[in-house]
Amino acid sequence: QVQLVESGGGLVQAGGSLRLSCAASGIVFSLSTMGWYRRAPGKQRESVAIITSTGSTNYADSVKGRFTISRDNAKNTVYLQMNILRPEDTAVYYCNAAGTFNTYNYWGQGTQVTVSS
């Protein structure tokens, strides 16, 4: 059974920080591309940050310089460090795991991040 279990979401004031974690099981984590996506109210889901199995990263322009994605293969966990949070970062954040050639694609349940003014 594949599971992506997220933690770390919550309520924070603008300018604050949160660290999201996503623990994966049931997949070969070390070979998976891991990503964080978000969906704000009334908006489409968007990619926030991606990290490949080799450690390459990609960020949405809106979060560059503020967010950092990382992974710990020994713990089968991917992280999203979010700094200098803004109200527009408010969204449900989802963890994603994808296999090579999209042999699998799984999603976490989502965790709410709310940034107040």
Q: Which residues contact 35 (CB under 8 A, 6 or more apart)?
A: 47, 48, 49, 50, 51, 69, 95, 96, 97, 98
Q: Compute the average pLDDT of residues 50-62.
A: 97
Sheet of strand 77-82, all strands in order from the earlier edge strand to the far edge: 3-7, 18-25, 77-82, 67-72
Q: Which residues contact 24 (CB under 8 A, 6 or more apart)?
A: 2, 3, 4, 5, 32, 34, 76, 77, 78, 95, 97
Rounded percentage of the chain residues whose pLDDT exceeds 70: 100
Q: Compute the average pLDDT of residues 49-66.
A: 98
pLDDT-derived band at 67, boundaries 50, 70, 90: very high
